Structure 1
Amino acid sequence: MSSRPATLPPQDNATTALYRAALGPVGAPYYLRVFGRFDEVGLPGPAWNTMAACFTLGWLIYRRLWGAAFSYAVLLLALGAALWFEVGPWTAWSAELRWSAALGLVAVFWLLPGFYANVLLHGELRRRMTEAVRQAATVQQAREQLAAQASGPGLLGLLVFLYLVLGSAAAGWWWQQSRGRPMPPVAPVVSAPVVAEPAPAAVVAPPAVTAPPAAVPEPDPVKAEPVKAEPVNAEPAKPEAGDAIRVRVHGHGVAVGMFADPANARRAEARLRDAGLPVLVDPVESSRGTLTRVRVGPLDDRAAADAAARQIRALGLDARVYGP
């Protein structure tokens, strides 16, 4: 009685060989384990793929999933254009809601490829393998055909180089933008207006009456009456230019930011004035020292404030609408 060999059945060996040829030299051991589990269960399911999650577009191109790569690129371009040109209903959302939506999109774009990229690749490789076996006379010829279609280290190196170039360009742009970015706006501080105490009215003393000398008597001395002083209306003292005054603006407006660097505040003020917006600039004392607050207002209503906020964001500045 002969013992059964410890290898897989011939059909499984052929399937594994076809998988290996279709996958190419990069990442084959990982995918063979995952696809073996899929075939054993008979139904592909979620399986985490870090490369597909972090470098989705490059992974799709390397695995030659052209339809999915094209759809993914179009979706990225559409979202990028909507964010850059501020097109869509999200422009009327609050800053907190927009940040929440952005984080949700990032999670979707990261989690979906991470969990379901293997399912997509498994189905595509099974289709290629079936087509190769149908066209070839032997399994060896089918393997050679699949290996010729698979991606190699050359394409992987090109994709890595492109990712490094694009990442460096994005980091440089972000750093350049952050140099002139204002500090996050601080809630406006309401304080009582500075009112100077009126100066007391000047009192003019009556002239002293000098008695005539005894040697030269006056027959009928005239008594001088006291001169009544006219009250002087004192104006409130004006604050010095260097005093920090917190201005309370009634009505709607847009908070642009609190600037620690006066030069950045002046640049932001100049850009707003060039855009034809009413600008309010005043210093505010804080735990970090004297900050320069830049706002736009007062505006007539909420709709005017929202329109001004969109115009300010188009200039590359932060904008937070506030009301009475």
Structure 2
Amino acid sequence: MSPDPARPGELRDDDHYTAELYRAAIGPVNTAYYLPLFAQWELEQRRQTRWNWAAALVTLDWLIFRKMGLHAMAYLGAVAASVLLVIYLGTAWMGFSSPALWGLSASIVLIAVVVPGLLGNRWFQAACNKNMTAALRTNTDVARACEALEHYASRRQRGIVIAAVHSAGLLVLGLVATQFAEFSQRASVRPGPAANNLSPQMASGLVMQSASAPFPVPVPVPVPVPVARAPASAASAATSAPSVKNPALAAKASAGYLINVGLFAVARNAQAAKEKLEAQKLPVTTDTLEMPGGPRVRVRCGPFDTKEQAQAAAVKIRALGLEAVFSRP
């Protein structure tokens, strides 16, 4: 017949003091797993490696639950340093390709899982030994030391709180990542504020200056009156007249309302903006302007016959996340 299990602060006659101290230091969570392992290590004076799934898969939570704060900070610092090192070496210095970066990232994840899984039991035993030594120094007998250790040991309520905080943190990170992805997608079609070396005031001035007279009105060339004694002048007048091609159409185009969408240093961004506008059935024109900072692709909508049509188009343009600046008709 097996003896009754020991209650907190009591010792069984057939139980070793060290095992009782371990039982109190481990606490009520997973005692059946850790106590035989630690007792075996004490008897054999050697530590056989055994895999710990909790330490491997939820390392940070497991370290916090077992109140190993220094181990948690060291683990978090090592992972963060490894990630930053890979990003700096892989992108800024070495220029690794995407498959190489994925391979390095997978290696970091593998190491972050395997090392705690193999060494987690040893870390926890060392922490228990440290707590046991401190309890024996501050208490006169083993029973009181066990009471102190049981009071300090982690309980299931602590694990529930840690899991809830972890889940909430992951949810917040997911929301932040989603918002950042949407912001990046919108910003990809906007001209960057630092697209050229000009100040914002100068850049806006250039935009308005270039857009204020997109279609210059051609000046009619006076037709010379033919004289009877100079028939050649009539021929020259006939050849000079075609230099003004469709002056009525040109005047109509210049009199319409135009909307400047933006100046793009990257042609790909200009093409993306143009495709968005065309998808809304808006008339789009693009041209290239030479500027001190390099060529810029200008994207415009129009011309529109009335101001109301231009304003309605501007509403659609701004709904796409693009700029809409009117030019004077």
After TM superposition, the score normalised by the length of structure 1 is 0.49
After TM superposition, the score normalised by the length of structure 2 is 0.49
Please state which structure has a larger fraction of its residues in helix.
2
